[in-house]
Amino acid sequence: MLIGYYLRLGALTAKAFAGASMSSEQHLVKDPAVDRDGTKYGFKGAIELWLDMNSRTWTSLDISYATARDETSGRWRAGWRVAPHVSVGPELRYDKNIETGDDNWNGRSGLFVRYDWTGGEVSVAGGVSGRVYDWDATDVSPYGTLNVLFQF
């Protein structure tokens, strides 16, 4: 649950959010040496930046941090408008849960298609995802996402 502030500075749109977060984990296979199952509460902050570079191209960066499980997250996209309301392009994602006590992080690299309208947007993305340690990827597998956003 976040509350935010929206600021438009020419071609740059900036949004800042702050509020409460909840994180719940329940593993099917329990590790007796590590017990992270359960629900934790904390603070969350997020920043979303959007830059229209010209009428056909844009880039965005979303970053967040939550104290509930000491989680950081970031996503970058670069879009090319192939039609007035349709964009395509690459995306990169970074996720880390520092609570686990290791230097691993999750990374994604893929492509997206985004359709926007006055009241929101829908995007579909896919690519490869993996666990990264010392810049070596392991457990690489495909990923797919569907995101829907409504503005009010």
Mean pLDDT of 82-103: 86
pTM here is 0.85
8 A C-beta contact, residue 32 and residue 59 = no
Which residue would you say has higher pLDDT here, 48 or 139?
48
Beta bridge partners of 101: none
Closest CA to 123 of 63, 71, 60: 60
Q: What was the pLDDT predicted at 33?
A: 67
- What structural domains and CATH numbers belong to the chain? 2-27+38-150 (2.40.160)
Q: Exposed, middle or buried by CB within 10 Å (0-12, 13-18, 19+), for 66?
A: buried
Confidence of residue 103 (pLDDT cuts 50, 70, 90): confident
d(CA 135, CA 111): 21
Strand order of the sheet with strand 2-9?
2-9, 12-25, 38-52, 57-66, 71-83, 86-97, 105-117, 120-133, 136-150
Beta bridge partners of 96: 72
